[in-house]
Each structure stands twice: as structure tokens, then as C-alpha cells.
Structure 1
Amino acid sequence: MPGLLLETLRGQRADAVPMWLMRQAGRYLPEYRELRADKGGFLELVYDTDAAAEVTIQPIRRFGFDGAILFSDILIVPYAMGQQLAFLAGEGPQLTPRLAEHPLSSLVAVPERLAPIYRTVGKVKAALGPETTLLGFAGSPWTVATYMVNGEGSRDQHETRALAYRDPARFQAIIDTITQVTVEYLVGQIEAGAEAVQLFDSWSGSLAPDEFERWVIAPNTAIAVAIHERCPGVPVIGFPKGAGEKLPAYASETGVDAVGVDETIDPVWAARELPQGMPVQGNLDPLLLLAGGDALVARAEAILRAFAERPHVFNLGHGIDRRTPIEHVERLKATIRGWRG
């Protein structure tokens, strides 16, 4: 029997609401911090299959969430495309060579860099019970491209946006290549045991409407179509953070099976404007989970009420803050588990 989360992502509505939290495997957990200290750097942890599987399972063991999401990073795709990747303390990820200065053709693909990720998926799948859905993921092409072009994160993605305006044909080639690799990467995760996949478009909110259509909706559509053709029955969750009023177009045009809603979106508006019957995921503010208190419970219940008439996966509007107290997560879980719509 599929778990509650998988059934919900397939469009089934139940009285109970499944939950998982973005970045649920991470630094807010003492067991993660202990393992990270033992293993060293972040990338080393991702590529240690046993350790990465353990990190993926830690929040399931502690909280019993309905979904386990693979412990990895969206920049594994450019790493497999041939960019060098390093996570520097206090500075975040660094990719070289920067595509702002070097042609895409300068990269030499290293597809074997994906194999350890598939092994992690297989190891996690073997350890989970049928009630827990295993989620794979990848970054969406626009967001991945912002890192590949700039070589690191940026506040407004100005370098990548400027390149897309200045030389759209060159940028289209970058997007197309990321799209192709992402499809293969997600299919590989599914073949290894992932039961659903999520596309993270963390920087989609920085684009003007026409650019959003070209660099977010179009490549995500291509990925969703390919996954559905090659892996029938595997739900695709699209999460275009910051999409705002463009969210309904994303939901209806891309062909994703479920849509993630960030914390800036009014859930009442989303419930009204998104395609009827489409599963939604979200959308508690991670900072409210950090703050805790009665406001946390009140907001969680308001979100549950707003989405009560459609399939709903409770989640945050983005990743859990590393400073979040464990007891706040426990209180949120109790609220969701106690809810009956």
C-alpha cells in the first residue's frame, strides 16, 4: 500500500494531512551536527553513501514524517556537467569555471558523479517502511543556471538575468543542457527507489513575466513531460519560490502533479486560484516555526483550513532554519497529526 504522502500527491484527499519539511535533514538536528563533525565537509557528507542515507533517515526516525527527502544538493547537476564544486565555510557554494566568462563547451561532463547519489537513494529505500514516501529532487534549470553563470549565489541573480537578456541563444543552450541532465538525474533517482520527485526553483521570483515563461515554465514543462513518459505514475512536485501571481500559470502549464506554495502566498488565494483538485504543498513560514508559540499553532491550523477541500501536503514555505528548536517541530507535528479536515 502506498503511504499517505504518495496517495496525496497522486490526488487523493484524506482526513489526515501528510507532512514533511524542506531541509528536514540538516543542521537543526543534533544527530546531524554530530555526524557532520565526524565526516567533515558538506560535499564529503553527500558523497559518503552510508552517511548521506543516515542523514536522510534521521528526521524520519525522530519525527515519523510521511516523507523522507534525499540528502543531497541541487548543485550536483552542474558538478556532473563538469563544473568544479566547493562549499566554503562562511561563503557557501562556489562553482568554477563561471559560465559568465567561459563557454558551456569548456565543461567536460563527469556523469559518474551521479552514481553515489543513486546508491544513497537505494540504501534509504531499503531502510524505509512502506508508510514513508521517498522523495528525490533536483534544482530547476533556471535556479541551477544562476549558480553556474555567477559561480555562486547572489541576491538578485543580476549576472544571469543580464546574460539571458543580452544573449538569449547562449543562455537557452545552458538551460537546455541543464534540462537534459536533470531529466536523466531524476530518472536515475526514480529507478533507484524514489517514489516522487521535487523540482526546486528557489530563484524563480526574480524574473519578469515573459522571462518566467521562458526560463521557468518551459524547462519545467519539459522535465515533467519526460518524467511522466519514462516513469509513469511518479508524481512531480514543482516548487517555484517567489512565483506570486504567476503560480497558477506555472501549475496549469507545466504539467506538474503538485505545486509547492511559499510562505508569501495567501493560502486562501492559492486554494481558489490553483487548478481544481491539484495537490498543494506548504506553506508555513520557516521563521514562524523558529519563533514557535501559540502563533505557530494558529497559523498551521489556518493553512490546514485553507486547503481543506483539496489534497494537501503540509510543509514549510522554504527550508527549515538551522536554529529551529526541536520542541517547535514536535509541536507542529502534534498539530498536524491532530487535525482532521
Structure 2
Amino acid sequence: MAQPEKKLLETLNGKIYEHPPVWMMRQAGRHLPEYLELRGRAKDFLDFCYSPSLATEATLQPIRRYNMDGAILFADILLILDAMGRNVRFVKGEGPQLDPASSAADLDKFPLEKLLDRMSPVYETVSRVKSQLAPETTLIGFAGAPWTVAVYAIEGKGGTDKSAARLKAYQDPEDLDAILDILVETTAHYLKAQADAGADALMVFDSWAEGLAEDSMDRLVIKPTQKLIQRVRDLGVTQPIIGFPRGSGAMLEPYAKHTGVTGVGLDTALPVKWVHEALPKSMPVQGNLDPLRLISGGDAMDARIREIKSAFKDRPHIFNLGHGVTPQTPISNVERAVKVIREE
């Protein structure tokens, strides 16, 4: 008997559907009461991520509720830095904090095997989710891109203007390059482990690609990502890879051309017409509904969903948001959005 078609995976392989597959960034999270109950069972957020039973349940919750076409692994991009001994912690009301790395040597204290073993609960989560997913649902593994993870490592927290990391790129370029190279190698093996555990596709989040000058974007985002993708391929990974350089603007064009990603995520600000002109028609795209539309809902949300669907009807398109689902999002609006996307 033939297996049901994985629409999301087939889209990444170039197939075009009248009604695109859908999943949403941060679809497992604080807008779900079942997530909040589950979160309360862990002593802290890192414990949550490192507990395969809890992380598996968090990954599956939005699939059960919304029947999304894609399940994304419940984890965090900072787990790599935690494995590197940077004392990652999540402070309520303040977000992630960690011991800043003053040099590449601070991130190179442990052998690769030890780092990968520290993150082994993540691979177990992937395996558990895979065994429980319907065959038509695509499982997405992920990691942070080298530049974004480097920003956290250097700044020691999120929510900054990234000036310390950008200054280091100007003032100490050799050490920053060494940091990026360490992150490329570790992340490549981390993604391979997720692929080996059962991930159907992979995603690389470059959340801090915004605000960079053209030359910096090339050096800090595009070239390290190209190195990462090439290293992942050298390790034998064949799964499609989505790159998401949030806030990259017009630099998305060289990013898509030179990094080797299979498809690209689109943030909310990218004009649809420009995307068509800048990217090859065969390249899959993912996005780019404003997450706030899910809060406001109503006819305006429905209309925008249909506009995006229509705009991307002639290319492989995965329906998603331009950023993540926010905590105050009504469940009924997500349900409505999925229904309009599928026109059921």
C-alpha cells in the first residue's frame, strides 16, 4: 500500500499545490493551554528542551490541534551554546542570558563528541516524534545559523542591538571568523544527528540577519551559511534545508543564490512582487503572513491569506508566518487561518 504524500516535503522538492501545505513558526508555544500545562512540569526551560518526553509532547500538540502539514522539533537554538559551557539560562521577563564568550577559545573547550552527546536528548526527541507522527506529516529539525548563535555568544543575551558582535567583526575579524568556523562545524554535526534520527527536512534560523551592511551580510551571514550547508552535505545529509535570514531585505537574493539552501523563509516585510523577480521560480518559498494578522483575525486576515496564496500560486510555496505565533493569538483564529489556507 502506498504511503500518503508528505505535501510539505514534496513542496521542498519542487512540487506546486493549489492549496499549499502549512505550518507556523512557534506553533508549539504559549498560545496553547496544553503547552502551558506541560511547561509547568519542567523545572526550567532548558530542562523542558532536554526532556524527550516533554519535548515530544510539545512538538505534537499543534499537530493534534491543527493538523499542520509540518511538525517542527521543540528545542532552542541556544542548546549548542549550553553544550559549549556558556551557562545558558532563561530569565522570566528578560529572555535568554548566558556567559559571554570573549574569544573563540571560550567556545572550544570541549571535544565535538562531548558537545554532541550533551545534545543527545534532542535526537531522542526527533526519534520519538517521528515514530508518533502520521506518515503524511513532515518532521522539521533545526538549528541557529552561525552568525545568530555567535551574536548570542558574544552579547551574552538576546534583545540587543548586536553592536558588540558587529564591532568584533570590524575590530577582531580573525577571532570572529574562528567563532563562526567552530559554530559551522558543531552545527553541521548537530543537524546531521537530527537527520539521522528521522528529520525529513531541516531549517536554519538566522534571526539576527537584520540590520547588516551589504559587505557584512555577505561575510557574516551568507558565507558562513554556505559553509554550513556544504559541511552538512559533505556529512551525507540529503534532506532539504530551509534558510531563514530574517530581516535580510534585498540581500535575500544573494543568500538564496549562494548559500545552497533548498528554499527560503520570507519575513513579513518582503514584498511578494520583489520575491518573484529576485528568486528563481523553481525555488520553494515559505511565509510570509504577519503574525499579528492571527491576533486580529476576521475578513482582513482571510483576504491577506488568499492574497499570499494567489501571489505564490506558480511556485512551490509553504504557507507560514513572517515570524512566530505570539502568546496572545486566539486559537480560533489559527483554526480559521488553516481552514482558509486549505479552503476546506
Same structural fold, with TM-score higher than 0.5 when normalized by the shorter chain: yes
For residues 336 and 106 of structure 1, the distance between their equivalents in structure 2, rounded to whole angstroms, comes to: 46
In structure 2, the residue matched to 1:338 is 343
- Measured after TM superposition, the shift of residue 225 of structure 1 is 1.8
TM superposition outliers: structure 1 runs of 4+ over 2 Å: 100-110, 226-233
Q: Which secondary structure does the structure 2 equivalent of 1:144 belong to?
A: helix
Q: Which secondary structure does the structure 2 equivalent of 1:84 belong to?
A: coil
In structure 1, the residue matched to 2:51 is 48
Residue 76 in 1 paired to residue 68 in 2?
Answer: no
Unaligned 5+ runs, structure 1:
none
Q: Which secondary structure does the structure 2 equivalent of 1:135 belong to?
A: strand
In structure 1, the residue matched to 2:184 is 179
For residues 261 and 191 of structure 1, the distance between their equivalents in structure 2, rounded to whole angstroms, comes to: 27
C-alpha contact (below 8 Å) 1:100/1:163 kept by paired residues: no
In structure 1, the residue matched to 2:220 is 215
For residues 135 and 231 of structure 2, the distance between their equivalents in structure 1, rounded to whole angstroms, comes to: 26
For residues 84 and 103 of structure 1, the distance between their equivalents in structure 2, rounded to whole angstroms, comes to: 16
- Measured after TM superposition, the shift of residue 105 of structure 1 is 5.8
* Counterpart AA for 1:246: M
CA displacement, residues 132-151 of structure 1 (integer Å, 9 cap, x when unaligned): 00000000000000100011
For residues 236 and 299 of structure 2, the distance between their equivalents in structure 1, rounded to whole angstroms, comes to: 43
* Counterpart AA for 1:213: D
- Measured after TM superposition, the shift of residue 232 of structure 1 is 4.8
In structure 2, the residue matched to 1:143 is 148
For residues 45 and 82 of structure 2, the distance between their equivalents in structure 1, rounded to whole angstroms, comes to: 14
Greater mean deviation of Cα atoms: 237-246 or 111-120: 111-120
For residues 309 and 160 of structure 2, the distance between their equivalents in structure 1, rounded to whole angstroms, comes to: 32
Residue 282 in 1 paired to residue 263 in 2?
Answer: no
Residue 36 in 1 paired to residue 35 in 2?
Answer: no
In structure 1, the residue matched to 2:239 is 234
In structure 2, the residue matched to 1:321 is 326
For residues 202 and 311 of structure 2, the distance between their equivalents in structure 1, rounded to whole angstroms, comes to: 25
C-alpha contact (below 8 Å) 2:266/2:288 kept by paired residues: yes
CA displacement, residues 143-199 of structure 1 (integer Å, 9 cap, x when unaligned): 000100011013320110011110000100000000100000000000000010000
Aligned residue-pair number = 338
TM-score (norm 1): 0.96
In structure 2, the residue matched to 1:5 is 8
Please give the residue correspondences for 1:240-279 in structure 2 after superposition, counting only pairs within 5 Å.
240-279=245-284
For residues 166 and 230 of structure 1, the distance between their equivalents in structure 2, rounded to whole angstroms, comes to: 33
C-alpha contact (below 8 Å) 2:229/2:261 kept by paired residues: yes
For residues 224 and 103 of structure 1, the distance between their equivalents in structure 2, rounded to whole angstroms, comes to: 24
CA displacement, residues 222-279 of structure 1 (integer Å, 9 cap, x when unaligned): 1222223434531000000000011111001111000000001111211221122100
For residues 100 and 77 of structure 1, the distance between their equivalents in structure 2, rounded to whole angstroms, comes to: 17
Unaligned 5+ runs, structure 2:
none
C-alpha contact (below 8 Å) 2:17/2:316 kept by paired residues: yes
In structure 1, the residue matched to 2:157 is 152
Q: Tell me the C-alpha RMSD between the 2 structures.
A: 1.5
In structure 2, the residue matched to 1:206 is 211
Aligned partner of 2:110 among 108, 111, 125: 108
* Counterpart AA for 1:291: S
Change (3 A) 1:189 1:19: same
TM-score (norm 2): 0.95
Residue 197 in 1 paired to residue 218 in 2?
Answer: no
For residues 284 and 100 of structure 1, the distance between their equivalents in structure 2, rounded to whole angstroms, comes to: 38
* Counterpart AA for 1:188: A
* Counterpart AA for 2:87: Q
What's the % identity of the aligned pairs? 47
Change (3 A) 1:105 1:92: closer
C-alpha contact (below 8 Å) 1:204/1:242 kept by paired residues: yes
- Measured after TM superposition, the shift of residue 39 of structure 1 is 2.3
Q: Which secondary structure does the structure 2 equivalent of 1:123 belong to?
A: helix
For residues 312 and 106 of structure 1, the distance between their equivalents in structure 2, rounded to whole angstroms, comes to: 39
Aligned partner of 2:26 among 15, 23, 33: 23
Greater mean deviation of Cα atoms: 292-301 or 219-228: 219-228
C-alpha contact (below 8 Å) 2:192/2:237 kept by paired residues: no
Q: Which secondary structure does the structure 2 equivalent of 1:197 belong to?
A: strand
Greater mean deviation of Cα atoms: 78-87 or 123-132: 78-87
For residues 247 and 156 of structure 1, the distance between their equivalents in structure 2, rounded to whole angstroms, comes to: 21
C-alpha contact (below 8 Å) 2:263/2:283 kept by paired residues: yes
For residues 120 and 257 of structure 1, the distance between their equivalents in structure 2, rounded to whole angstroms, comes to: 24
Q: Which secondary structure does the structure 1 equivalent of 2:204 belong to?
A: strand
For residues 280 and 272 of structure 2, the distance between their equivalents in structure 1, rounded to whole angstroms, comes to: 14
Q: Which secondary structure does the structure 1 equivalent of 2:338 belong to?
A: helix
For residues 38 and 7 of structure 2, the distance between their equivalents in structure 1, rounded to whole angstroms, comes to: 30
